[in-house]
Amino acid sequence: MPKRKRPLAPDPRRMAMATRAIHGNALTPHAGPVAPSLWQTSTYRFANSGDPIRYAEGDPDVYVYSRYHNPTVAEAESRLALMMGVDKALLVASGMAAISSALLSVVRSGDEIISTPALYGGTYRFFRDILPRLGLAVRYVSPSRLEKIPSMVSSRTRAVYLETPTNPTLAVVDIERLVTMVRRAERTVRRKIVVFADNTFATVLNQNPIHFGVDVLLESATKYLGGHSDLLAGVVAGPEALVKGAHTQMKYMGGCVDPFAAFLLLRSLKTFELRVQRQNENALHLARVLQGHQNVRRVLYPGLPSHPDHLIARKQMVDDGGRGFGGMVTIEVKGGVRAAARVCDALRVAVNAMSLGGTETLVSIPVYSSHIKMSARELARHGVRPGMIRISVGVEGIRDLARDFFRALDVLG
């Protein structure tokens, strides 16, 4: 009898995003539940008193306390690392916990951070109100003046931070160019500078900053990864040493994720590719048709050829293997914030709520939400205008969505 060939062990890293998100590393036959197990526990029984000693010596199979680690969280982390193409991922309580744990693990008092200026509101306030109290300065570089980075970097620069596409104007930062400038500056100051990218808006399906040399990915899993507006979580992903540093920081700052949120996230990841693909399609369609409405002054969407950063978006979101331009669209209506409010109040399918990335379409007015209480100068610097409506496009029927927006825009006359 011919010897039966042993099949080659498949490498999950070479598989599609959906396959990685659904199966993780579990591609060998084994008995057990198909759905992931929820370890809803704060602490763990020791088989004997040697267990905590084994834990302290680094045995990864001994669990001691859920602020440090939890098997459900660990499963979500290993899938996220596989999806993002990195060594390690850390799942924490929220996007802000990811951002603060990761940044604070690399900087120390006296250091400087260089950042692009248009940021998620929480990040912007963290940089403006919290970091200076810890002796950390943030300097901003315009995405159109990245060549200034080498002259801005000093021996105190420890981190560079970027977010793209930005909230709410959907401007695109050229990641490859930014990283090139940072690495050039690094050689002059002879110091490693850690580059962080907040990838929440694009998600790893549409854009992977790691491919362009970014060190650490940050993402609010509350948004597209979670995708159903029912959980809060955040991800730090990158090389083992950096993620370990963020884990230590998280352990003592306390931003651990609840096991149930990790369980919900594991369920969400199974449909991540399907959802984001549909959101890409719906967003592109909606952006195109809304350009034609008489009460719309401007439509901002990186996938439209009229968008000022369309070519950069194409390079880093599509030509690099990404699937599209994301699910976020911003429109500016004629008539300022009062008109924007009237449109939002007239919508019946789209929901007036903060946040983004869920299956349901959400709208928000930036000057009433993410950019509330900012001075006129701050608003101008962020390119935010009172008549803007930010749309997080969901997975509803596209004709229902388009009709809903047309009907609501018609109330302006």
* Interaction between residue 94 and ligand PLP (CB under 6 A): yes
Among the candidate windows 18-26, 195-203, 265-273, 280-288, which touches ligand PLP by CB under 6 A? 195-203
Residue from 69, 79, 223, 278 that binds ligand PLP (CB under 6 A)?
223
Nearer to ligand PLP, 70 or 123 (CB): 123
> Is residue 244 within 8 Å of 60, Cβ to Cβ?
no
Q: Residue 407 class from Cβ within 10 Å (0-12 exposed, 13-18 middle, 19+ buried)?
A: middle
220 binds ligand PLP per the rule CB under 6 A: yes
* Residue numbers 98-127 binding ligand PLP by CB under 6 A: 120, 122-123
Q: Strand, helix or coil at 128? A: helix
Give the nearer residue to ligand PLP in terms of CB position, either 222 or 268: 222
* From 78-86, 220-228, 301-309, 384-392, span contacting ligand PLP (CB under 6 A): 220-228
Residue nearest to ligand PLP (CB): 95
Neighbouring CB atoms inside 10 A of 151's CB total 10
* Minimal distance, residue 373 CB to ligand PLP, in Å: 18
Q: DSSP assignment, residue 256?
A: B
Q: How many residues bind ligand PLP (CB under 6 A)?
A: 16
For ligand PLP, the closer CB: 157 or 229:
229
Q: What's the sign of the alpha-carbon dihedral 231, 232, 238, 242?
A: negative
Could you tell me the end-to-end alpha-carbon distance of the chain, in angstroms, rounded to an integer? 82
Q: 3-class DSSP state for residue 47?
A: coil
Is residue 95 a contact residue for ligand PLP (CB under 6 A)?
A: yes
Peptide bond into 165 cis (omega under 30): yes
- Least separation in angstroms between residue 119's CB and ligand PLP is 8
Q: Which is nearer to ligand PLP, 21 or 102 (CB)?
A: 102
User: Which of 63, 124, 161, 201 is close enough to bind ligand PLP by CB under 6 A?
Assistant: 201
Residue numbers 137-176 binding ligand PLP by CB under 6 A? 163, 167
Helix axes 272-290, 398-410, angle to 10 degrees: 40
Cα–Cα separations (whole angstroms), residue 329 to 153, 288, 292: 34, 10, 15
Nearer to ligand PLP, 158 or 223 (CB): 223
Is 234 a residue that touches ligand PLP (CB under 6 A)? yes
Strand partners, 362: 351, 392
Name which of 289 and 353 has its Cβ closer to ligand PLP.
Answer: 353
What is the rounded CA–CA span in Å between residue 338 and residue 387? 8
Q: Is 163 or 309 the residue whose CB approaches ligand PLP more closely?
A: 163
State yes or no: residue 276 binds ligand PLP (CB under 6 A).
no
CA atoms of 391 and 104, how far apart (whole Å): 32
- By CB under 6 A, name the one of 105, 157, 200, 203 that touches ligand PLP: 200
CB atoms within 10 A of CB 346: 16
Nearer to ligand PLP, 296 or 329 (CB): 329
Q: How far is the CB of 123 from ligand PLP (least distance, A)?
A: 6
Residue 220 or residue 282: which is nearer to ligand PLP going by CB? 220
Residue 261 token pair:
């949120």
The residue count of the chain comes to: 413
In the chain, the amino acid numbered 114 is: I
* Residue 392 makes contact with ligand PLP by CB under 6 A: no
| Distance set, CA 159 to CA 114, 124, 143 (Å) | 6, 15, 16
Give the residues lining the site for ligand PLP (CB under 6 A).
Answer: 94-96, 120, 122-123, 163, 167, 198, 200-201, 220, 222-223, 232, 234
